[in-house]
Amino acid sequence: MTPVEGALWLLARGFAAFPADHPGTYRCSGIGKGHDPATCEDRGKHPCVAFSRVHTRDERQAYRWFAEHLRNVAVPVGAYRGRDGRRLLVVDSDRPGAIEDTAADFGERHAPTMRVTTAKGAHDYYEIPADLFLGNGLGALRGRFDGDVRSGNAYAISVGSVHATGVMYELDDDRLPAPAPAWLLTALQTKPVPPPRSAGRSPRQGSPLLPLVSFVLESRESERNNRLFWASCRAFEHAEQGDVDPRSVASALAEAAVHVGLPEAEARKTISSAYRRNNR
């Protein structure tokens, strides 16, 4: 499919769509805070609009976006409403067979659903209950699944698009999104406390870093960044006083933030801001 054909296919099945950068343009056409289109090297994925507000289900707008301009097609995950108000979950496998292997690891069988193949693996589209808000955390899949998940305020590059490598995003299974299997929903809602990775010492029992890690792990989606910043400031204060190994702070708190769904780059940026504040 061409981008406009991909967009129209999605719209006909109840999805919304919006334009994202296409690697065939001279430079990145994406937007976003801190994003420099002139130096962008991660082509083909950046949204061209504020996608949580600006997306369409209108065919005329799709023609304007995707027939008149060279753009990739993206789906705003949070805008989807299926049967009985069901929401959307996209499982992004970083290699072929990743979700099938993970299902087997849990003693289950993969449930086929709408699938779009990508440069590395595939996107599987599932419906989840209307009252279930998952976010982008992996839960118990962390360390057992080669990929990530997208739900809520997230997006997925979709059919009709082109990866920076030249690989097309193509339909592998064109059925409508199936209900997410129970084992997958249970795994995504299970949040075991991860052991902190560190180049230095791990937080020892009784360390002031442990309650700060727990504080981040208990964050709701709307407060993750604020709680991470506060915990990082307190942790670096303890590090200055010699109460905790400073090499453990960033790795332990970043691990906790990623565990509750914060992107790693954003988590480390927040931790760095807290470090600079404490070292003015």
For residues 147 and 118, the answer to whether their CB atoms sit within 8 Å is no
Domain 3-189 has CATH 3.30.2250: yes
Distance between CA 117 and CA 237 in Å, rounded?
47
Please report, to the nearest 10 degrees, the dihedral formed by the alpha carbons of residues 162, 166, 171, 177 taken in order. -50
Q: What is the pLDDT of residues 144-175, one digit of tens each?
A: 899 999 998 899 999 999 999 999 999 998 89
| Confidence (pLDDT) at 199 | 42
Distance between CA 2 and CA 10 in Å, rounded?
12
Q: What is the pLDDT of residues 41-52, one digit of tens each?
A: 889 999 999 998
Helical pair 246-259 and 264-278, crossing angle rounded to 10 deg: 140
**Is 266 or 126 the better-scoring residue by pLDDT?**
126
DSSP state at residue 204: P
Please report, to the nearest 10 degrees, the dihedral formed by the alpha carbons of residues 92, 98, 100, 106 taken in order. -100
For residues 87 and 129, the answer to whether their CB atoms sit within 8 Å is yes
Q: What is the pLDDT of residues 223-276, one digit of tens each?
A: 888 888 888 888 888 877 777 776 677 888 888 888 888 888 888 888 888 887
- C-alpha of 223 from chain center: 17
Distance between CA 30 and CA 95 in Å, rounded?
26
Identify the three-state secondary structure at position 242: coil
**What is the residue whose two structure tokens read 């690697």?**
23
Whether the per-residue pLDDT at 10 is higher than 90: the answer is yes
What percent of the chain clears pLDDT 70, i.e. is strictly above it? 92
∠ CA 152-179-150, nearest 5°, is 25
Around 39, how many Cα atoms within 13 Å sit in the side-chain half-sphere? 3
Identify the three-state secondary structure at position 78: helix
The domain segmentation of the chain, as residue ranges, is 3-189, 209-278
Residue type, 114: M
Distance between CA 74 and CA 63 in Å, rounded?
14
Section 177-192 average pLDDT:
88
Whether the per-residue pLDDT at 31 is higher than 50: the answer is yes
DSSP state at residue 195: P
Whether the per-residue pLDDT at 75 is higher than 90: the answer is yes
